[in-house]
């Protein structure tokens, strides 16, 4: 039995590397150091992690690819879950559209959720259906359009997919099946 030089308690519970301080004092010191230096330690760990990943990027890329190849079902399940969590709500879709418009430098004005609901309650601008209405950028973001209330219109999913990144007039006179069905059908019926 020895006396601990920090707490003065007689004990036989010592580490071999520090024979003059009892285990309880060493644990207390470690916990105090951990709480006092938490932020600095986390910063060091983040920096080390980024450096380590950038130095070993190829290793981790190959490791991830191998895991995905061996666990295809689980990888697909995780991907579906991530997509459902991140993109399924209207608020997330709106945030994604805003981010895309800002990244392209087209400009973005605040479009409220009430404005978007109002647009989605209107019939499709092309075919008039009220089923599966989506928000359409009349001048597409990819062509320099803004994410603003004046550039948004209701289109059904089918018409929106067909239009893609065309301008409205380009799509109207294109030879895409949905455009032919929506815009040329009344002309042929009248003739």
Residue 181 reports pLDDT greater than 50: yes
In tens, the pLDDT along 9-66 reads: 888 887 777 888 888 898 999 999 999 999 998 999 999 999 999 999 999 999 999 9
pLDDT at 76: 94
**Does residue 115 share a domain with residue 50?**
no
Q: How confident is the model at residue 185 (pLDDT cuts 50, 70, 90)?
A: low
**126 in a domain, yes or no?**
yes
Residue 169 belongs to domain spanning: 110-190
Evaluate whether residue 96 is within a structural domain. no
Domain assignment present for 69: no
How much of the chain, in percent, has pLDDT values that exceed 90?
A: 39
- Do 115 and 49 fall within a single domain? no
Q: Is residue 116 part of a domain?
A: yes
Residue 186 has what pLDDT? 53
CB 14 within 8 A of CB 5: no
- Look at residues 122, 121, 125, 128 and name the one whose alpha carbon lies nearest to residue 137: 125
Q: Which of 5-14, 162-171, 178-187 has the highest mean predicted lDDT (pLDDT)?
A: 162-171
Q: pLDDT tens digits, residue range 143-166?
A: 888 888 889 999 999 999 999 999
Within a domain: residue 10?
Answer: no
Q: How many domains does the chain have?
A: 2
Q: For residues 154 and 63, what is the distance between their CA atoms, to the nearest angstrom?
A: 44
Q: What is the spatial distance between Cα 102 and Cα 133, in angstroms, rounded to a whole number? A: 24
pLDDT value of residue 191: 47
| 51 and 114 share one domain | no
The answer to whether position 153 is within a domain reads yes
CATH number at residue 117: 1.10.30
Report yes or no on 93 lying in a domain: no
SS3 call for 136: strand
pLDDT for position 190: 46
Q: Report yes or no on 91 lying in a domain.
A: no
pLDDT beyond 60 at 5:
yes
């Amino acid at each position: 039995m020895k006396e601990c030089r920090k707490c003065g308690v007689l004990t036989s519970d010592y580490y071999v590397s520090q024979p003059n301080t009892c285990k309880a004092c060493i644990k207390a010191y470690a916990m105090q150091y951990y709480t006092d230096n938490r932020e600095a330690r986390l910063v060091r760990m983040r920096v080390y992690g980024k450096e380590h990943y950038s130095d070993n990027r190829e290793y981790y890329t190959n490791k991830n690819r191998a895991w995905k190849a061996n666990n295809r079902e689980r990888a697909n399940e995780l991907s579906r879950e991530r997509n459902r969590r991140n993109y399924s709500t209207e608020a997330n879709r709106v945030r994604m559209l805003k981010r895309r418009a800002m990244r392209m430098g087209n400009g973005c004005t605040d479009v409220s959720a009430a404005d978007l609901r109002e647009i989605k309650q209107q019939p499709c601008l092309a075919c008039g259906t009220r089923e599966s209405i989506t928000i359409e950028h009349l001048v597409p973001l990819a062509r320099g359009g803004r994410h603003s209330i004046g550039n948004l219109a209701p289109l059904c999913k089918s018409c929106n997919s067909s239009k893609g990144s065309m301008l409205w007039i380009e799509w109207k006179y294109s030879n895409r099946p949905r455009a032919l069905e929506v815009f040329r059908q009344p002309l042929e019926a009248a003739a």
